[in-house]
Amino acid sequence: MQFETEILSLEAVDIAYSVLGDGPPVLLLHGFPQTRAMWGPIARRLARDHTVILADLRGYGESGKPDVDSPTECAAYSFREMGRDQLALMSALGFERFHLVGHDRGARVAHRMALDAPERVASVTVMDIVPTHLLLTQLSHGVARSYFHWFFLAQPYPFPERLIASHPDYFFESCLLGWGGAKLSDFAPDHLAAYRGAWRDPATIFGMCQDYRAALTHDLALDTADLGRKVTCPALVLYGADGAMARAFDVPATWADRLAQMQAQTVPGGHFFPDTAPDATAQALAQFLKQTRSIY
């Protein structure tokens, strides 16, 4: 599904986004190594009852890539800074309160937004993640093996960038096919075309590496400071029934002390179930949003 691209120019970065539908606003945030294109059929389904906003995170897709000329500093790529971009986007669109959905890195941004701006977030859905602090401080051999990319991408510039740039399709497609055993044929051709077009850009490779560098420093410190705080709005934890997180963790239990009003549900497939099981994902989201519609 092709979306019309709009650009919001902020002081630090341009944010690419698309809008469709009408009704209570829902912001959808993608993960690594994708773009907002991943939401195609899910966005179309939700747009029957909602105004759906899809945005590329800074560093990804058509959004800006700050600090390309100062690669030793990654603070601009913290989840807090990414979240501030999205809060500014929703304000610019006239939505001071909205539902928030994120997958992978987008889910980590969504969690940070719900902590930093609880008055703005009517509900939050996090897809196929465990909390960043828990993942990094209780790291097991199995998780480290599956999620090696966290530590590879976080290596000092330009080591990972140069290796990935030698064959970006090979590296990023190996990520898509891991963490739950998907096949390339499980991904819509237009989604793959959008992902490839983005990750072949050296600036995007840099942006994604900066994202992971920031996670090990700035984001871990922020989450450590916020231990004990709970997201108070209704929250849905969706995770792949066959994914690496489900194999390694009791995923709902990892969120129990961080989400005050939590529901949890599995979706068939691995980590990339929004791509590989869009109908089931859309159904779960639509049901949850219907339940929380009255609080918008």
CB 78 within 8 A of CB 222: yes
Query: 3-state DSSP call for residue 183?
Result: coil
Residue 243 pLDDT greater than 60, yes or no: yes
- pLDDT one-digit tens code per residue, 141-192: 999 999 999 999 999 999 999 999 999 999 999 999 987 778 999 999 999 9
Residue 133 DSSP symbol? H
**6-295 falls under which CATH superfamily?**
Alpha/Beta hydrolase fold, catalytic domain (3.40.50.1820)
Residue 39 DSSP symbol? G
The answer, as to whether pTM is greater than 0.95, is yes
Structure tokens at 74: 């990654």
Q: Which residues are catalytic?
A: 104, 271
The C-alpha R_g of the chain, in whole angstroms, comes to: 17
Q: Where is average pLDDT lowest: 1-10, 15-24, 40-49, 197-206?
A: 1-10
Q: Which residue type occupies 119? A: E
Query: 3-state DSSP call for residue 135?
Result: helix
